[in-house]
Chain A
Amino acid sequence: MGAFQARGQPMPQPKRKNMLRKGADGRSTHDVGGLEFGPIDRHEHDLALWEKRTDAMLRLLVGPEKRAFTVDGMRRVIEDYGQQQYDRTTYYEKWIRAVRNLVVEQGVLTRAEVEARMDEVRARWEKAGRKTSKEKIPW
């Protein structure tokens, strides 16, 4: 098992287009109960290591010892994502973005620090032979 390898199967691919919210008049993006989204993709998967770490960081940051932000704050960030971003990101992609935004909002880290460190990580991984996406993650 290589340094970047995780166990098991990939997360299902998110939808890559902006899905209509037919009949969702005035509802928030995440409020999908009763709408129509077709068959359920029942593939099982194990989480990738970065997804587990995202889950772990979130648990710790909202936990009684750290209280860096709250679960409600986290939900607010995710629920305020534009529909296009909401639909084209996977579950833990939404989570890690929310963690980023909240630690910056709370003054734990700065935007500049995060952006600079992402560049460093990309450079390091590329040097080690792994390609990295240059995609910008909206704030």
Chain B
Amino acid sequence: MHNPKHDHDHHDHDHDPHAPQKDHDAGTASAYEVLEEAVRALLLEKGVLSAQEIAASVDLIDSRSPALGAKVVAKAWTDPAFKKLLLKDTRAALKQMGIDIGAAPEFATVENTPEVHNVIVCTLCSCYPKMLLGIPPAWYKSIAYRSRTVVDPRGVLQEFGVGISDDVEVRVHDSTADLRYIVLPMRPKGTKGWSEDKLASIVTRDCMIGTAVAQAGVVRN
């Protein structure tokens, strides 16, 4: 589906995802940054929000990370009863681990097997299992990922360096505001006898989106 001749003006920079970049916040403030300052100041003055509430909410954002999802995956890899519950009723399984998803929308876990590889997307916007993975990466919210994953998942996975052989079915799950997904990756070879903590260390964010597969030698940042 993807046409390499298509003109994309965001593609004139180099493509090392880890290349150092200049900090844009130190430069000219965009009108949107000015707007954020203005709206926040007004809401504080009117007592709609408090500075403490905003600080606590920012802390909550900072505290959420794929480490939590990785813990869930590692438990599912080592505890068959937990895994069964996770696949059947994700909310209940998380509760068992002390993770209360509260008012969050419905949540489903999809399992990778030797026959099926799952990948998640939100074509309309950015629905994502934030509760377990934190803020989604920019590419998850990009129009390119949103548009193409549902029509050319194997091509998209190839861009992420994941080759899925033709005899493996690829299932794409389009998340909505009311139903979100997380991928339970396959436990890789060479991890026999590993502790849950050690297992969790190789469960990367992208494994739980489906744009990577877990590998014994690849540790989460």
Mark A residues whose CB is within 8 Å of B: 2, 4-6, 8-17, 19, 30-45, 47-50, 52-57, 59-61, 64, 66, 68, 71-72, 75, 78, 87, 89-93, 96-97, 99-100, 103, 108-109, 113-114, 117-118, 120-122, 125, 130-137
Asked if B160 lies at the interface with its beta carbon under 8 angstroms from chain A, I say yes
Given pairs A10-B24, A39-B159, 6 additional interface contacts (CB within 8 A): A19-B143, A32-B124, A38-B11, A39-B2, A42-B160, A52-B62
B135–A55 contact, CB under 8 A? yes
B124–A31 contact, CB under 8 A? yes
Q: Which of B39, B145, B146 contacts A109 (CB 8 A)?
A: B39
A122–B40 contact, CB under 8 A? no
CA distance A134 to B137 in the complex (A): 29
Report B-chain residues with C-beta under 8 Å of the C-beta of A71: 177
CA distance A97 to B156 in the complex (A): 31
B139–A42 contact, CB under 8 A? yes
- Chain B residues 39 to 87 lying within 8 A of chain A, measured CB to CB, are 39-43, 46, 48-49, 53-54, 57-58, 60-62
Report A-chain residues with C-beta under 8 Å of the C-beta of B150: 33-34
A130–B29 contact, CB under 8 A? yes
Q: Which of B9, B19, B147 contacts A32 (CB 8 A)?
A: B147
CA distance A4 to B34 in the complex (A): 11
A56–B54 contact, CB under 8 A? yes
Asked if B167 lies at the interface with its beta carbon under 8 angstroms from chain A, I say no
Asked if B28 lies at the interface with its beta carbon under 8 angstroms from chain A, I say yes
Contact A133 to B31, CB < 8 A, known contacts A6-B25, A36-B3, A53-B58? yes
Q: How far is the CB of B10 from chain A (nearest CB, A)?
A: 6
Q: Which of A5, A30, A100 contacts B23 (CB 8 A)?
A: A5
A103–B43 contact, CB under 8 A? yes
Q: How far is the CB of B152 from chain A (nearest CB, A)?
A: 9
Q: Which of B9, B30, B54 contacts A15 (CB 8 A)?
A: B9
A47–B135 contact, CB under 8 A? yes
A9–B174 contact, CB under 8 A? no
CA distance A122 to B31 in the complex (A): 9
Contact A4 to B46, CB < 8 A, known contacts A40-B156, A41-B138? no
Report A-chain residues with C-beta under 8 Å of the C-beta of B15: 42
Q: Which residue of A lies closest to B149 (CB)?
A: A33
B148–A125 contact, CB under 8 A? no
B10–A12 contact, CB under 8 A? yes
A53–B29 contact, CB under 8 A? no
CA distance A98 to B165 in the complex (A): 43
CA distance A125 to B17 in the complex (A): 32
B28–A132 contact, CB under 8 A? yes
CA distance A97 to B32 in the complex (A): 7
Contact A44 to B57, CB < 8 A, known contacts A50-B36, A75-B177, A91-B126? no
Q: Which residue of B lies closest to A10 (CB)?
A: B24
A40–B27 contact, CB under 8 A? no
CA distance A117 to B39 in the complex (A): 8
A5–B26 contact, CB under 8 A? yes
Asked if B123 lies at the interface with its beta carbon under 8 angstroms from chain A, I say yes
Q: Which residue of A lies closest to B5 (CB)?
A: A38
B124–A133 contact, CB under 8 A? no
